[in-house]
Amino acid sequence: MTDTAHILVVEDEATQRTMLVDYLTRQGFRATGLSDGAALRRAVQRDEPDLVLLDLGLPGEDGHSLARYLREQHAKVAVIMVTAAGSTVDRIIGLETGADDYIPKPFEPRELLARIKNVLRRAVPATAAVIGSRVPMGRRILDLAQRVLVDPDGVEERLTASEFELLRLFAENPNKPLNREWLLEATSHREAEAFDRAIDLRITRLRRKIEADPAHPDAIRTVRGVGYVFVPPGG
The contacts of residue 7 (CB under 8 Å, 6+ apart) are 24, 29, 30, 31, 32, 49, 50, 51, 52, 53, 116
Confidence of residue 85 (pLDDT cuts 50, 70, 90): low
Mean pLDDT of 21-50: 95
Pick the CATH number of 128-230 from 3.40.50.2300, 1.10.3720.10, 2.60.40.10, 1.10.10.10: 1.10.10.10
- In the chain, residues under CATH classification 3.40.50.2300 are 6-122
Cβ(184)–Cβ(202) under 8 Å?
Answer: no
Can you tell me whether residue 52 is helix, strand or coil?
A: strand
- In the chain, residues under CATH classification 1.10.10.10 are 128-230
The contacts of residue 137 (CB under 8 Å, 6+ apart) are 149, 167, 170, 171, 210, 219, 230, 232
pLDDT in tens, 91-150: 676 667 778 888 888 889 999 999 898 888 876 544 433 434 889 999 999 998 888 999
pLDDT: is 42 or 99 the higher one?
42
Confidence of residue 229 (pLDDT cuts 50, 70, 90): very high
Confidence of residue 203 (pLDDT cuts 50, 70, 90): very high
Distance between CA atoms of residues 16 and 55, nearest Å: 11
Averaged pLDDT score across all residues of the chain: 85
Please report which residue ranges of 123-175 form alpha helices under DSSP H. 161-172
**Fold of domain 6-122:** Rossmann fold (3.40.50)
Distance between CA atoms of residues 69 and 66, nearest Å: 5
Residue 15 has pLDDT above 50, yes or no: yes
